[in-house]
Amino acid sequence: MDELLGSEHQGERRQVTVLTLDALSKSFQRAGLVVDSVNLRIEDGEFFTLLGPSGCGKSTILRMIAGLEEPTSGRILFGDRDVTFDPPNQRGIGLVFQNYALFPHLTVARNVAFGLEVRKTSAEEIGKRVTAALTQVQLGTLGAARVDQLSGGQQQRVALARALVIRPHFLLLDEPLSNLDAMLRGETRAMLRAVHNESGVTTIYVTHDQEEALGMSDRIAVLNGGKIHQVAAPQEIYERPATRFVAGFIGRNNAIEATVTGLQNGNVTIQFSNRSELTLNSGQRAPGVELALGKKVVACIRAESLCISDDGPIDGILADIEYAGSGSSCIVQSNTGDLKIEVPTSVRPPSRGESVHLKIAAPAVHLVEP
Ligand code: ADP
Ligand code: MG
């Protein structure tokens, strides 16, 4: 951490436009290959999120960008400059962790100033920049407070101010909200977005939380097992998942196996195991899904795209219901397997054991490879 805090480069932000990861891989002796040939191009000023389950390699990627971990192979470029083997303190990186890693016995201002003091910045300049950074994270009046007197949310803001004060090329945030309770998480999310909007600093955010990723990011890379499954804007990730994994990891999704039984006029007809058929626009598929008669596909159907309707083609029995305020999350045992559905509060919710018929909102169905 100390290496990074010294990561000061005085004066103006250097012109670093793009962060490129080129076939970046990392193996650990026991864990094996945990980052598998990752290619990414993160644009200047983006709020970019690495999203995936625990252990998929997110932190390892971030640590390689920061210089805290050496890649096994591949390259990291800041603009045209190859920084793959540069020491952390020459990269101009601001890093914020889940556990704030502050000095508890020092004041807020001293914690924030630390990286500048290491670099022997003038006292006057330090004062100005610390005040500006604390204002940016809405802690303007707390400079003299001791860190161990602050709440968790405030401590996380100090950590953020400490990262921003060095005017980093890249702000790296590793699950920064995980230790905060739900309400503080919401507030801190809004604050992070505001800081990003104001400073324009390229931000790389790591989370396993799909809601954070969808709500905050310009673009998201979804990872599993060290591999990138999709890089796209939040809406595209949600509505047009590239793989079955992405569809299942984000939102409440039903992955239903089906067979292509018709192809005409730009439409595709698929048949489910219960023989019911559904016709879609043939564009409703992930890149790389070839359509041919008899081909097996997986139809991704969001829980909110299945509705209870007397003339629906899928018969089932309501097996479970969980009230969630804005609606109810239900499980229906059907002849195509267990299906997740969302029933809005405006609709009378069925009771457990009741038989129901389900209709699929065809325009919301998306086909992926099995
Ligand atoms: P994530 O941040 O997505 O939860 P990590 O990047 O921390 O995942 O870890 C990816 C995998 O690499 C895990 O299996 C983890 O145990 C392993 N790993 C991470 N750091 C080390 C290390 N320093 N030594 C050995 N294995 C590690
Ligand atoms: Mg991690």
The pLDDT of residue 1 is 52
53 lines ligand 1 (CB under 6 A): no
- Atom number in ligand 1 closest to CA 69: 23
Q: Which of 29, 34, 205, 229 to mutate to test the pocket of ligand 1 (most atoms within 8 A of CB)?
A: 34
Let me know: does 143 contact 109? Beta carbons within 8 Å: yes
**How far apart are alpha carbons 44 and 29 in whole angstroms?**
35
* Contact 38 CB / ligand 1 (< 6 Å): no
Report pLDDT for 163: 95
152 Cβ inside 6 Å of ligand 1: no
306-345 pLDDT tens trace: 999 999 989 999 999 999 898 999 999 998 899 999 999 8
Q: What are phi and psi of 163, to 5 degrees?
A: -70, -35
Backbone dihedral angles phi then psi of residue 45, each to the nearest 5 degrees: 85, 0
168 in helix, strand or coil?
coil
Residue nearest to atom 17 of ligand 1 (CA): 31
Q: What angle do CA 363, 298, 33 make, to 5 degrees?
A: 125
The pTM is what?
0.92
- Cβ of 248 closer than 6 Å to ligand 1, yes or no, is no
Give the pLDDT of residue 41.
Answer: 98
Measured from the Cα of 54, ligand 1's closest atom is 4
Residue 326 CB–ligand 1 contact under 6 Å: no
27, 38, 60: residue to mutate for ligand 1 pocket, most atoms within 8 A of CB: 60
Distance (Å, whole) CA 315 – CA 337: 10
Residue 108 to residues 48, 105, 112, 153, 195, Cα–Cα distance (Å): 28, 9, 6, 13, 18
Instruction: Supply the pLDDT for residue 101.
Output: 85
DSSP strand pairing (253-264 vs 267-272): antiparallel
Torsions phi, psi for 49 (to 5 deg): -115, 135
Whether 70 is in the pocket of ligand 1, judged by its Cβ within 6 Å, is no
Element (H, E) at 95: strand 93-96
- Residue 52 CA: nearest ligand 1 atom is 3
pLDDT of residue 289: 96
Tell me the β-bridge partners of 57: none
Q: Which pLDDT tens digit goes with each residue over 41-60?
A: 999 999 999 999 999 999 99
Å from CA of 34 to ligand 1 middle: 7
C-alpha span between 267 and 279 (Å, rounded): 7
Angle between helices 123-136 and 108-118 (to 10 degrees): 130
Q: What angle do CA 12, 172, 233 make, to 5 degrees?
A: 105
Q: Which ligand is nearest to the CA of 51?
A: 1
Any atom of ligand 1 within 6 Å of the Cβ of 226? no
Distance CA 239, CA 231 (A): 13
User: What residues pair up with 78 in beta bridges, in sequence order?
Assistant: 19, 81
Side chain identity at residue 263, one-letter code: L
Residues 302-336 as b/e (b if ≥16 CB within 10 A, e otherwise) read bbbbbbbeeebbbbbebeebeeeeebbbbbbebeb
pLDDT of 12:
45
324 alpha carbon – ligand 2 mean position (Å): 29
**What number does the ligand 1 atom closest to the CA of 223 have?**
3
Does the beta carbon of 180 sit less than 6 angstroms from any atom of ligand 1?
Answer: no
**Residues 224 and 241: beta-carbon distance below 8 Å:** no
Q: In testing the pocket of ligand 1, which one of 27, 28, 30, 69 has its CB within 8 Å of the most ligand atoms?
A: 28
Counting as low any pLDDT under 70, the low residues of the chain are: 1-16
Ligand 1 binding pocket includes 207 (Cβ within 6 Å): no
Closest by CA position to 250, among listed 103, 43, 52, 98: 52
Edge-to-edge strand ranges of the sheet holding 296-302? 277-281, 267-272, 253-264, 296-302, 366-368
